Amino acid sequence: MELVFIHPDDKSRSLYRIYLENILEDCKVIEFFNFKKAQDFVSQRVEKGEKACDLILAASEGEFEDHSAATFALYCDQHLSRVPFVTIGERPLEEIAGFDSDHINKATTHHILLPLSPADFRAQILGVVYPDRMRLEPIAAFQKVRLINFFRYNKTHCNVYIRLGRLKYVKVLNANTLYNKSDLDKLKARDIEFLYIRNDDFQRFQVNYFHNRFLEFDASLATTEELKAKLEFTHVILQELVTSLGFSQSAIDLTEKSLKAIYALIDKEHSLGVLLHHFSLRDDYLYDHSYLTSLVACDLLRRMNWFTGERLDALGFAALFHDITVKEVSLARINRRDDERFCHYNESVKEKYLKHPLEATLLVQSHPHIPKDACIVIEQHHENPEGNGFPKALKAQEINPLSAVFIIAHEFVAELEKKDYDQDQMNSILKSMAARFNKGHFKKPMDAFCASFLSEAA
């Protein structure tokens, strides 16, 4: 069954999603953080004559872009009259402005009053979905939790298992033991979508889940090692949040945290060589690539004496999101239209990849908090001085000056990666880049990069 679920708060939404995926067998939860997006989704399906969904669950309060829960409920009453509409909140619907008696008295309207225990939540949801079922299913011995949720912190207070068969579970994370991103990546590489927690531990798990502040760190107080560990986790969560939901307030907050962590790292370690060294032993291309590009681009701004808060934010932001829609690492390494590695992909994959700068721009530009310059940089990040880049094959002088800084940083990082981040190769990489990036808006940042880097190395 398909369930549309709207809740403004990222943590609450993800916790309810964990409950729902345990309550309803084979349940696909489609999440939204505001009613406008939910209504767009539902109305598109209605217009195509498709079934919108099997159940709607919505936080009953909270105004989002002039679409409240009540406005959405009215739309659903008119267009999906038979789909159960369940609201959840701390006040009865009668007390919330906008909900009229016609909606409240409908047979498909249900309201879950908070607070209530997970067991009562389960009973109420099952009562809505299976009103005729007399005997409720027993609660399973293990509760499942999507793997992605474990990237929100680096320790659990209970053992965590994978499921190998109906009654066979194997422990993969130990209680109260730190784990790192690569432990989770290994599970991800095995296509494991869910991890499992004993039902006896679940109560404590949800309390810790809700109160954990692992990703709400203060960048100015963290050590270099802590910052790097947090950045790894925020990168995964950000990618998941933004590609599946768009820019919610939680994604914006997490972006700001990530940028602060990047700036703090740059402040703590002035030498680019030292920063790059940390990446030499790692094997997580998209993460390394995003963060290294932001470090080099911000460093370049400083070398050019072109450093302002706005430019720093635009470049940092672009670095975090420029490849956000690219999931396949081998594709993400391709920088040219005529790259022979495209022969491993069919035409539609290639076409889609050549449009990823536009795709990422579309994803980020709708949000008012996102620096406009960052959108331009994201759109232009695969343009080049030869004028045969993608998506638009812009000429060197048509490329935005800030984009030029980013493209140089991006190319430098890509070349360095090919050489396994060997610092001894930096000079030769810079020299060969200098011969290419010598026109239009590329010339100034490239000259500054070479001059200051070569003098630093001397």
- Least CB distance to Fe ion at residue 289 (A): 6
Residue 74: burial class (beta carbons within 10 Å; 0-12, 13-18, 19+): middle
CB of 254 to Fe ion, least distance (A): 20
- Shortest distance, position 393 Cβ to Fe ion, whole Å: 15
Using the minimum distance from each CB to Fe ion, give the nearer residue, 219 or 405. Answer: 405
Cβ closest to Fe ion, residue 186 vs residue 418: 418
Q: Return the number of the residue (124 or 380) whose C-beta is nearest Fe ion.
A: 380
Q: Which is nearer to Fe ion, 286 or 430 (CB)?
A: 286
Shortest gap between Cβ of 182 and Fe ion (angstroms)?
Answer: 22
**Least gap, CB of 400 to Fe ion (angstroms):** 16
Alpha-carbon gap, residue 289 to 330, rounded angstroms = 12
Residue nearest to Fe ion (CB): 323
Residue showing tokens 């999507």: 146
Closer of 61 and 323 to Fe ion (Cβ): 323
Question: What six digits make up the tokens of 452?
Answer: 């200051």
Question: Is the sign of the CA dihedral 309, 376, 442, 420 positive or negative?
Answer: positive
| DSSP 3-state of 111 | strand
3-state secondary structure of 249: helix
* C-beta closer to Fe ion: residue 205 or 291: 291
* CB nearer to Fe ion: pick between 55 and 314: 314
In this complex, which beta carbon is closest to Fe ion, that of residue 217 or of residue 285?
285
Contact present, 359 and 380 (Cβ < 8 Å) = no
Question: Rounded to the nearest 5°, which phi and psi values hold at 149?
Answer: -65, -25
Nearest distance in Å: CB 378, Fe ion: 9
End-to-end CA distance of the chain: give it in Å, rounded.
65
* Residue placing its CB nearer to Fe ion in the complex, 103 or 382: 382
Dist. CA 53–CA 43, nearest whole Å: 11
Contact in structure between 90 and 48 (CB atoms under 8 Å):
no
| CA pair distance 152, 240, nearest whole angstrom | 11
* Peptide linkage before 445 cis (omega within 30 of 0): no
Q: What's the closest the beta carbon of residue 285 comes to Fe ion, in angstroms?
A: 10
CB-facing half-sphere around the CA of 66: CA atoms within 13 A: 0
Judged by beta carbon, residue 261 or residue 297, the one nearer Fe ion is: 297
Residue 120 near residue 157 (C-beta atoms within 8 A): no
Question: Coil, helix or strand for 56?
Answer: strand
Decide: 293 and 299 in contact? Cβ < 8 Å: no
CB nearer to Fe ion: pick between 7 and 410: 410
Sequence-distant (≥ 6) Cβ neighbours of residue 398 within 8 angstroms: 440
> What are residue 194's phi and psi, to 5 degrees?
-120, 145
Alpha helices, DSSP H, located in 217-270 = 224-245, 249-268
Token readout for 254 is: 């997490």
Query: How many other CB atoms sit within 10 Å of the CB of residue 32?
Result: 24
Residue 323 CB, nearest distance to Fe ion (Å)?
4
| Rg (the chain; Cα; Å) | 25
- Which of 293, 274, 308, 265 is CA-nearest to residue 405? 293
Binding region for Fe ion (CB under 5 A) = 323
